[in-house]
C-alpha cells in the first residue's frame, strides 16, 4: 500500500502526540471522514470507536455544523475579544448559561481544555486573593485524574499513574488523594480536609468518569460528598467536564445525574461538536462577584489570542442546535445498553478484569498494563475499526450518532481481538 506524496514529504517533519517517534508504528494517512467513518489514503475504511479523542459527538462532517462554519467563514472567521464582541460568542455564552447546572452564569472561552483548566485554577486562586486571602494556594485533586498537559494542570493529574511522573519535583505540589468512595477513603478524605482545608483554593475532579487517567467510574454519592465537604470548609469546587460534558455519560453534563453543581466548570472536547478547537471555563455568580470591583487589579488576568473564535463558536452553536433537535442523551443511553450487552461477552476472556459502561463510555479493563498497545491497535485496524487501547483499558467512546451495525463491528472486534 503506497502513501500519498504529502505523507512521505511531511512525516519526517512532524512530531506526534504521546509518541515515541523512533519505535511507534507509523501513523495511518487519513484522506477524509464522514459520520463514524475514517477513510484512509489507501482507500481502507475504519469505523471510529473513539470519535477523535471524544470530540466528534455528532459524528464527523455533520452537515448542520459544516454549514454553520461555512456561513460564518463568509462573514468573519475571527476577531479579537479584547474590547470587541461578536454574535457567535455572545449567543454561545448565553445558551451555555441556560443549560449549565446550578447558576454557572459566566463563560470565559479559550482554545484547549488544558487552558480551560488553567483558567479555572487561576480563577479559584484569584477568587481568594481578591478577597485578601493569600493562604489558599493549593488544589485538592484525586488519584486517577487527568486535567491536561500544561504545567499547572500536570500538577493536578494522578502523580503515580499519569504520564507526568517524569516532571515530579519540577511541578507545583498539590495534594492528590483517593476519591472518597468507601469507608476507608471517606475517612481519609474527611481527615485531610479537617487539617488542610484552610490551605485549599478549590477541590478539582472529573465528575463520574475519570477519563484519560484510566476510564475509572465513581457514583453520584461521591459528587454529593465533595459538594458537602466544599461547603462545610468554604472551599470552591471545580468540575472538569471536558471529557464528560455534552452527553457523553448520558446526561448533558455528568454532574446533573447527581444534581450537584460546582462553582466552576471546564468544558472542551465535545463543545464544538468536534469540528474546531474550543474550550470554556464557566463560573458561578459567586465566583464572578469576587472579580467585580472598582480595582483594575481585581480583573481576571487571562486572554488567549484566539479566545471565542467565531468559527469555533458557530460550530458550537450548531452543535447545541443538534442537541436540541435530536435526542442525543437518549442515544447515549441506548448506545450504553448495547455496549453493555455486547462487551459483556469479554467477561471471562483471559486477561479481562472488568467490563463497565456509563452512557456513551464503554470500558474493558485488563488485568495488566498493555505493553503492546500499538500492536493491538494494528489488529483492530486489520478488522476495520479505529480503537486505541491505553494502559490497562480498551474503551469505546463512539459518536452518539453511530449506527447499530457500526457499533456491533466495534464491539465484535474487541471481543475477537481480546479473545485471541
Ligand X SMILES: *Cc1c(COP(=O)(O)O)cnc(C)c1O
Q: Which residue is nearest to ligand X (CB)?
A: 113
* 60 in catalytic set: no
Question: Among 48, 111, 127, 146, which one carries the catalytic annotation?
Answer: 146
Looking at the chain, the number of H-run helices and the number of E-run strands are 14, 16
Task: Rank residues 237 and 290 by Cβ distance to ligand X and give the closer one.
Answer: 237
79: helix, strand or coil: coil
Minimum distance, C-beta of residue 120 to ligand X, in the bound complex (Å)? 10
* 395 in catalytic set: no
275: helix, strand or coil: coil
Separation between Cα atoms, residue 333 and residue 289, nearest integer Å: 37
Task: Rank residues 72 and 110 by Cβ distance to ligand X and give the closer one.
Answer: 110
Half-sphere exposure of residue 95, counting CA atoms within 13 Å on the CB side?
17
Binding mask 259-278 for ligand X (x = CB under 6 A): ---------xx---------
Nearest C-alpha neighbor of 315 from the set 77, 68, 112: 68
Separation between Cα atoms, residue 41 and residue 225, nearest integer Å: 50
CB within 8 A of 55, min separation 6: which ones?
Answer: 269, 270, 272, 273, 274
* 7 in catalytic set: no
Binding mask 105-124 for ligand X (x = CB under 6 A): -------xxx--x-------
156 near ligand X (CB under 6 A): no
Question: Among 122, 138, 269, 409, which one carries the catalytic annotation?
Answer: 269
> Do the beta carbons of residue 86 and residue 310 sit within 8 Å?
yes
Out of 143, 147, 225, 409, name the contact with ligand X by CB under 6 A: 147
362 near ligand X (CB under 6 A): no
Out of 65, 124, 208, 242, name the contact with ligand X by CB under 6 A: 242
Task: Rank residues 176 and 417 by Cβ distance to ligand X and give the closer one.
Answer: 176
Question: Strand 45-48 relative to strand 385-386: parallel, antiparallel, unpaired?
Answer: parallel
Question: Among 48, 111, 240, 263, which one carries the catalytic annotation?
Answer: 240
Scanning 123-131, 141-149, 325-333, 395-403 for contacts with ligand X by CB under 6 A, the matching segment is: 141-149
Out of 109, 139, 189, 243, name the contact with ligand X by CB under 6 A: 243
194-223 positions binding ligand X, by CB under 6 A: 206, 211-212
* 240 in catalytic set: yes
> Do the beta carbons of residue 143 and residue 178 sit within 8 Å?
yes
Q: C-alpha distances in angstroms, 336 versus 130, 204, 331, 406? A: 44, 27, 8, 14
Scanning 145-153, 165-173, 358-366, 408-416 for contacts with ligand X by CB under 6 A, the matching segment is: 145-153
What DSSP string runs through 161-193?
A: TSTTGGGTTTSPP--EE--S-SHHHHHHHHHHH
59 near ligand X (CB under 6 A): no
Binding-site size, ligand X (CB under 6 A): 15
Which residues here bind ligand X, judged by CB under 6 A?
112-114, 117, 146-148, 206, 211-212, 240, 242-243, 268-269
Q: Catalytic positions, please? A: 18, 146, 240, 269
Amino acid at each position: 500500500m503506497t502513501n500519498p506524496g504529502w505523507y512521505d514529504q511531511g512525516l519526517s517533519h512532524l512530531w506526534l502526540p504521546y509518541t515515541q517517534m523512533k519505535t511507534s508504528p507509523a501513523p495511518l494517512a487519513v484522506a477524509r471522514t464522514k459520520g463514524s467513518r475514517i477513510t484512509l489514503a489507501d482507500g481502507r475504511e475504519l469505523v471510529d470507536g473513539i470519535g477523535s479523542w471524544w470530540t466528534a459527538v455528532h459524528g464527523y462532517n455533520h452537515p448542520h455544523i459544516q454549514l454553520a462554519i461555512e456561513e460564518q467563514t463568509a462573514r468573519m472567521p475571527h476577531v479579537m475579544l479584547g474590547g470587541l464582541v461578536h454574535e457567535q460568542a455572545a449567543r454561545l455564552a448565553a445558551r451555555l448559561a441556560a443549560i449549565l447546572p446550578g447558576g454557572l452564569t459566566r463563560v470565559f472561552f479559550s482554545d484547549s481544555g488544558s487552558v480551560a483548566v488553567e483558567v479555572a485554577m487561576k480563577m479559584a486562586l484569584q477568587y481568594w486573593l481578591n478577597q485578601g486571602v493569600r493562604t489558599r494556594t493549593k488544589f485538592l485533586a484525586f488519584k486517577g485524574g487527568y486535567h491536561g498537559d500544561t504545567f499547572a494542570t500536570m500538577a493536578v493529574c494522578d502523580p503515580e499513574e499519569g504520564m507526568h511522573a517524569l516532571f515530579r519535583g519540577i511541578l507545583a505540589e498539590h495534594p492528590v488523594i483517593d476519591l472518597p468512595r468507601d469507608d476507608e477513603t471517606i475517612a481519609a478524605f474527611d481527615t485531610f480536609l479537617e487539617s488542610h482545608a484552610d490551605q485549599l483554593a478549590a477541590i478539582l475532579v472529573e465528575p463520574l468518569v475519570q477519563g484519560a487517567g484510566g476510564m475509572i467510574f465513581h457514583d453520584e454519592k461521591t459528587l454529593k460528598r465533595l459538594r458537602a465537604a466544599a461547603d462545610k470548609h468554604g472551599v470552591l469546587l471545580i468540575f472538569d467536564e471536558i471529557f464528560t460534558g455534552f452527553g457523553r455519560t448520558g446526561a448533558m453534563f455528568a454532574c446533573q445525574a447527581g444534581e450537584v453543581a460546582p462553582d466552576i466548570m471546564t468544558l472542551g472536547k465535545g463543545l464544538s461538536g468536534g469540528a474546531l478547537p474550543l474550550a470554556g471555563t464557566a463560573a458561578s455568580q459567586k465566583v464572578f462577584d469576587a472579580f467585580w470591583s472598582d480595582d483594575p487589579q481585581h480583573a481576571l488576568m487571562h486572554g488567549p489570542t484566539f479566545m471565542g473564535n467565531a468559527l469555533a463558536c458557530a460550530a458550537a452553536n450548531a452543535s447545541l442546535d443538534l442537541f436540541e433537535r435530536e435526542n442525543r442523551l437518549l442515544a447515549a443511553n441506548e448506545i450504553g445498553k448495547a455496549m453493555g450487552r455486547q462487551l459483556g461477552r469479554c467477561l471471562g476472556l483471559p486477561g479481562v478484569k472488568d467490563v463497565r459502561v456509563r452512557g456513551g463510555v464503554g470500558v474493558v479493563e485488563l488485568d495488566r498494563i498493555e505493553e503492546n498497545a500499538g500492536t493491538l491497535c494494528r489488529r483492530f485496524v486489520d478488522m476495520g475499526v479505529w480503537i486505541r487501547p491505553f494502559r490497562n483499558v480498551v474503551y469505546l467512546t463512539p459518536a452518539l450518532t453511530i449506527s447499530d451495525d457500526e457499533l456491533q463491528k466495534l464491539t465484535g472486534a474487541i471481543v475477537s481481538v481480546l479473545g485471541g
